[in-house]
Amino acid sequence: MKLQVKFSLYNAITKIAIVLLLGSIILFSLDKLAYNQLDSRLIKKKNKIIEHLNDDEIDSLLNKGESFTDYNILKEEFIVLTDIPDRQTDSIATVYTEKREIEGDIEVYRILNYKFSYHTNWYNLEIGETMTTLQSIKNSIRFYMLIVLVSALLITLVTDYTFSNFLLKPFYLIIDKKINRVNDPSHYNYENIPTNTDDFKILDNSVNSLMRKINTLFALEKQFIANVSHELLTPISILSTRFENMLNTAGIPEEHENKIYASLKTLNRLKVIINSLLLISKVENNQYLKTEEISLKQEISDIYEDLEDRIADRSIIYNCMLDDDLLFTGNKALIHTLLINIINNAIKYNVNGGSISITGNKTEAGYVLTIADTGLGMNKELVENAFDRFERGHTDENGFGLGLAIVQSIANFHKIKINIQSEVTRGTSISLLF
C-alpha cells in the first residue's frame, strides 16, 4: 500500500471518528438545548407578564379562562390565569411537558406553572408553547447538521488527499526517475529533484551516492569482462591448437588419442560457456547498438533454413503462420540469437514425429509471436526458474542451462516481454510481445 494511501486512510479514519463523536454529542444534546431555549423563553414571558400585570389584565384573563397570543389559529401558545385559594407560599416556576385539549384539539405543550400573589389574592399562571414546532425545528437542525458534517468531512478528505499528493510528489519523482527508469548507471542523472522537504533531500542524495558507487562497480565489471575475454579465451585457443596438433601426430596410441579428444571436447564446452556468459554480460551492459531494420518474418525464414536438416532428421512437422510481418529497429544478430535459441529448444526437447507451430499477429498490446512445440514440457517449478542461469529443465539432455538466460537478456535489451506456458508431456509455448 502506497504511503499516500496510508496517509489518506489515516486522515479519513480519524476525521470520521471525530465527526461521528462530535455529531453524536451534538445530536444527543440537541433535545436538551432545545428544551433549555424553550424554557428560557417561557420564563421571560412569565417575567414580562408579572411585570406589566394590572387589574384589567387579571380580569380579562380570569373571565376568558384561556387566552391565545401570537398564533391564535395554530394554537401555538396559550396563557391561562386561575384564581387559587389564599395562604399559598411563594413557589418557583416549574416547567413540564403535558398534553392539553384546547378548543377540542389535543396538543403537546411545554408548560410553565407559576403561583403568585397580587393584592393579597393568589393566582396560578400557566404559559404554554406547543412542542410540534419544536420537534420540526429539531428535525430540520439534525438534517442540516448532518449535511454540514458530511460536506465538511468530504472537503477535508479531498483536501488532505490533494495535499498529501502534493507533499509526496518529490518522493514519487525520485522513485520513478532515479530508480525505475534507470537501465544504465552510466547514463544516470545526478540532478536533484526540487523539494523543500528535508527527508526527501536526504533520500535523493542517498540514491545519488548509491548510484555513484554502482556506476563505479559497473565500469569495473565492464573492464573485468574485457579482461576475461582476452585472458581466458586466448589460453583455451592455444590449448585447443596444441591438442589438435597432438592428434595429428603419427603413431599416437589410441588410448592417448581418446584422452586428447575428450580434453578437446571439454575445452570447446568451456569456450561455449564463456562466450555465452560474455554475451549475456555485454547485452545487460548495453554494449550493443540497436540501429538495424529487422524483418521478423525474414529472420524466422533464415533460421528455418539453418535448422531444416535437424527438423527433418526427427520427422518434426514445422508450421509457420505469420499473418503479419513485423518491421522494427534493433540488433539483428541478437534477435537472430534469441529466436534460434527458442526454436532450437523446441526441436531439442520435442518428440520424434512431433510438431512446431510459429504464429504471429498484431494485437492491441503489440505484436505477439508464439513458438509452440509438442515436446516433453516442464512442470511449474521449472517454468518459474526457466530463465535462471545454469538451470536445466531436463538433465539427461546436453546443455549448459544458458539458452533461455540469453533469450531473456536479449528480450529485456529490446523491451520484449516473454511468457512461458508449459505442461509436462504436452509441450511448451513461448510468447514474445513486441
The pLDDT tens digits for 74-93 are 567 888 888 888 777 767 88
Residue 70's pLDDT is 42
Q: What is the mean pLDDT of residues 406-413?
A: 86
Residue pair 334/288 in contact (Cβ under 8 Å)? The answer is yes
* CATH number for position 314: 3.30.565.10
* Residue 109, phi-psi category: left (phi > 0), alpha (psi -120 to 50), beta (remainder): beta
Same domain, 260 and 301: no
Same domain, 268 and 321: no
Looking at the domain assignment, is residue 168 inside a domain? Answer: no
Q: For 174-200, write each residue's pLDDT tens digit.
A: 888 887 777 667 677 888 888 888 888
How many domains, in total, are found in the chain? 3
Instruction: Decide: residue 52, CB within 10 A, 0-12 exposed, 13-18 middle, 19+ buried.
Output: exposed
Looking at the domain assignment, is residue 26 inside a domain? Answer: yes
Looking at the domain assignment, is residue 199 inside a domain? Answer: no
Same domain, 330 and 427: yes
Q: What is the mean pLDDT of residues 409-415?
A: 86
Same domain, 16 and 42: yes
Is beta strand 94-102 parallel, antiparallel or unpaired with respect to 77-84? Answer: unpaired
Same domain, 12 and 96: yes
Q: Answer with the one of 74, 103, 136 that is the final residue of a domain.
A: 136
Is residue 342 scored above 70 in pLDDT? yes
Looking at the domain assignment, is residue 197 inside a domain? Answer: no
Q: What is the mean pLDDT of residues 298-323?
A: 88
Tell me the pTM.
Answer: 0.51
Same domain, 258 and 329: no
Instruction: Decide: residue 297, CB within 10 A, 0-12 exposed, 13-18 middle, 19+ buried.
Output: middle
Q: Answer with the one of 87, 119, 136 that is the final residue of a domain.
A: 136
User: The domain containing residue 373 runs over which residues?
Assistant: 292-433
Is residue 68 scored above 60 in pLDDT? no
CB atoms within 10 A of CB 369: 21
Is residue 243 scored above 80 in pLDDT? yes
Looking at the domain assignment, is residue 325 inside a domain? Answer: yes
Q: Quickly state the pLDDT bin for 370 (edges 50, 70, 90).
A: very high
Provide φ and ψ at 18, rounded to 5°.
Answer: -65, -45
| Rounded Cα distance, 336 and 301, in Å | 11
Residue pair 402/276 in contact (Cβ under 8 Å)? The answer is yes
Q: Which three cell numbers stand for residue 125?
A: 399562571
Q: Answer with the one of 284, 306, 323 that is the final residue of a domain.
A: 284
Is residue 72 scored above 60 in pLDDT? no
Residue pair 273/398 in contact (Cβ under 8 Å)? The answer is no
Is residue 8 scored above 50 in pLDDT? yes
Same domain, 280 and 331: no
